[in-house]
Amino acid sequence: MTRFDEVKATFWGEGLYGVQPPLTDAVVQDAERQLGVRLPASLLEILRVRNGGPVAEVWNAFPTDVPTSWSENHVPLDDMMGIGRHDSQPSLLDSGYLVEEWSLPSPLVLLSGDGHCWIALDYRTCGEQGEPSVTWFDVDTDTELPLATDFQAFVERLAAAASLDDSDGSQSAS
């Protein structure tokens, strides 16, 4: 089994907040039309397992080589948005509004974030039909950090935040 398949099989955590109805081909086509981009096949594979929600603790962080406003050595991925309009829960379909609201560059599809920091599919280099990279955006510090060349590479590098906590105790596991 490849690393991607291993992560995909255990990607989702407990809880239903943010979970959208099961993904269908029609929903994907409509989402791509609304977003104006082609979504990565690897993202759709994970969203077909479950369409958004909490990420399992074993995959809830992406290690970084440089400090961020979040941590000395990682960015969080506590949850990931799905595709849909269920119970006013956040969705990838909200990306256009949120990109404008938070003055982010475009075109992006936001995967996870709280307004101050985001993890996004970044289509600025590849174009709307290309394979987007994954980038961390910190609105408060006006910084961005490239994380991975594509979504599959991003998923394959995920780790448990608890395993990345700073040894000096400045970031506590919770």
Please list the rounded mean pLDDT of every run of 10 residues in the chain (174 residues): 90 95 97 98 98 97 94 96 89 96 96 96 97 97 97 97 68 38
Sheet strands (E) in 114-172? 117-122, 133-138, 143-148
> How is the chain split among helix, strand and coil, in percent rounded to 5?
30, 20, 50
Q: Note the pLDDT of residue 102.
A: 95
Closest-CA residue to 68 (of 138, 161, 168, 158): 138
Q: Note the pLDDT of residue 166.
A: 59
Amino acid at 159: A
**pTM for this entry:** 0.92
- Residue 30 structure tokens: 């409509």
Q: Note the pLDDT of residue 1.
A: 60
Q: Note the pLDDT of residue 99.
A: 96
Closest-CA residue to 134 (of 46, 144, 67): 144
Q: Note the pLDDT of residue 170.
A: 43
Rounded CA gap, 146 and 102, in Å? 18
